[in-house]
Amino acid sequence: MFKKVLVANRGEIAVRVLRACEERGISTVAVFSEPDRTALHVRYADEAYCIGPASSRESYLHIGRIIDVARRAEVDAIHPGYGFLAENPEFAAACQDAGITFIGPSPEAIAKMGDKLTARETVRRNGVPIVPGSERGLSDEELRAEALRIGFPLMIKATAGGGGKGMRVVHDPGDFTRALGAARREALGAFGNDEVYLEKYIPVARHIEVQVLADQYGHTIHLGERECSIQRRHQKLIEEAPSVAVDESTRQEIGRIAIAAAQAVDYVNAGTVEFIYDVAEDRFYFLEMNTRLQVEHPVTEMVTGVDIVKEQIAIAAGRRLRYRQEDIRPKGWSIECRITAEDPFRNFMPNTGTVTYLKEPTGPGVRVESALYRGYEVSLHYDPLVSKLVVWGETRAEAILRMRRALSEYRIGGIKTSIPFHQEVMDSTEFIWGTFDTGYVERRRLQGQGRGSEEHGRIAALVATLVAHEAGRRAVHIGGERADGSTPWWKLAGRVRAMGGRW
């Protein structure tokens, strides 16, 4: 096992990885930018080194400085967390060249999945369903012909893109040529590469992803799915495991497909295979594979009992997977709310300030992954994510009720956070019944009353038990919402009676 690991990240994820090292008896090294000198990850690590000024380019993205510190501190391995250098094949290769283990997949696997056309083509050859679309190396003229074959609406996506960057929907054949030009220019500006491809557009979709783990000996397992459809401008806000849209046989099927996708690139370590679920057609398609630990990994940990970060370290150290697929038996339900330093009443405007008061929730089924402390200064240099509130419950309803309780206990003074947004979601019918799709956040208007001021939210959540647990079937829409998306409790009661449920 490694003796010393460097964590090339900041914030809550750096702390998360340091905790895994601590449990494995591994010494830890943190790196930090000048404004992060007093950050929690710096205090948690055994040693910490400044790697530059606030600018990420000059600190957390600076491969040379990080490798220098790793050499100086004589670490065996580097964990990249998520974001920053986590999916940079040059960084993974630079670690290798310095004789340091990169806790993640090979540079080749990262590069193959990072190029979205290569990823599509590679997984397709392994029997993975992909959205009907175009292949590589087509001229604008040939793409236009392809567009007519695929049909409208369609999407133009940047080959070097991913995560929603460089995407465009085209509804009308007359708009295609202009959109293609604009997409190419945008891709060139953002990624230095103007290659694009086409996909049939899926108008009503859910974002569902499968966690995989693969060791160095060809053993690959999946840990079930996460539902990530509650997002805004491609930033996920709430995730849960499992998904109400996935039944047991579908779970096994998309699990097998996720394993096939990973094996197509000889994947090693933890990764996530992202699917788009076509609600109208009831079909799953591969979208992309994220070759890193994800923000939302805790919900999978809560339902499977697997410590994904500790497994990542073991895999990188050459250990065999401790689990066979049959050992993975998800239990209960987990939900994560991303707490960001954004004002949900001002269009999620990022805000700055000093945390003047802090009381984080605890109690049964509550887990907080936080970088916050009293005196912490939120700046605009980095991602606004400051904390993740994760709950577990026996049923989805219990998880929702726990989240409501934990959100109401969470007190953060001095900065505005997204907590009021989460409180309203926990009261909304669409969320409680699980009938949402990726358009959910855009459709809603935040009411601004903050936490559910009425009893109906709590009752609605209780009622969800009958759907998620007792009825054991996919969510159904009940209708009758108020303008704020909540539902009068008597309508829920009537629905439950109609379903033959207890009230």
Binding residue for ligand MV4, selected from 77, 202, 303, 463, defined by CB under 6 A? 202
The site string for ligand MV4 over 414-453 (x = CB under 6 A, - otherwise) reads ------------------------x---------------
Q: With H, G, I as helix, E, B as strand and everything else as coil, classify residue 376.
A: coil
- Rounded to a whole number of angstroms, the minimum distance from the CB of residue 127 to ligand MV4 is 20
Residue closer to ligand MV4, measured from CB, 28 or 231: 231
- Residue 163 interacts with ligand MV4 (CB under 6 A)? yes
Residue closer to ligand MV4, measured from CB, 8 or 276: 276
The site string for ligand MV4 over 247-286 (x = CB under 6 A, - otherwise) reads ---------------------------x-x----------
Clarify whether 411 is annotated catalytic: no
Query: Which residues from 116-145 bind ligand MV4, rule CB under 6 A?
Result: 131
- Residue 289 interacts with ligand MV4 (CB under 6 A)? no
Report the phi/psi class of residue 348: left, alpha or beta, with left for phi > 0 and alpha for psi in -120 to 50. left
Residue closer to ligand MV4, measured from CB, 11 or 161: 161
In one-letter notation, the amino acid at residue 240 is: E
Half-sphere exposure of residue 379: CA atoms within 13 angstroms, side-chain side: 11
Which two three-digit tokens encode residue 311?
A: 């497994």
Residue closer to ligand MV4, measured from CB, 201 or 267: 201
- Rounded to a whole number of angstroms, the minimum distance from the CB of residue 142 to ligand MV4 is 19
- Residue 287 interacts with ligand MV4 (CB under 6 A)? yes
Binding residue for ligand MV4, selected from 155, 259, 316, 464, defined by CB under 6 A? 155
Cβ atoms 79, 6 nearer than 8 A: yes
Cβ atoms 301, 307 nearer than 8 A: yes
User: How far is it, in rounded angstroms, from Cα 273 to Cα 326?
Assistant: 20
Q: 78: part of which helix (H) or strand (E)?
A: strand 77-79
Residue closer to ligand MV4, measured from CB, 60 or 440: 440
Closest by CA to 200, choosing from 89, 276, 108, 106, is: 276
* Range 376-404 burial, b when 16+ CB lie within 10 A, else e: bebeebbbbbbbbbbbbbebbbbbbbbbb
- Could you please report the per-residue DSSP string of 37-58? TT-HHHHHSSEEEEEESSSGGG
Q: Active-site residue among 168, 292, 402, 404?
A: 292
- Rounded to a whole number of angstroms, the minimum distance from the CB of residue 230 to ligand MV4 is 10
Residue closer to ligand MV4, measured from CB, 103 or 208: 208
User: How far is it, in rounded angstroms, from Cα 286 to Cα 257?
Assistant: 9
Report the phi/psi class of residue 323: left, alpha or beta, with left for phi > 0 and alpha for psi in -120 to 50. beta
Instruction: Kindly indicate which of the ranges 58-66, 87-95, 180-188, 200-208 contains the residues binding ligand MV4, using the contact rule CB under 6 A.
Output: 200-208
Query: Where does this chain bind ligand MV4 (CB under 6 A)?
Result: 131, 155, 163-164, 199-202, 205, 207, 231, 234, 274, 276, 287-288, 438
Q: Which residues are catalytic?
A: 292
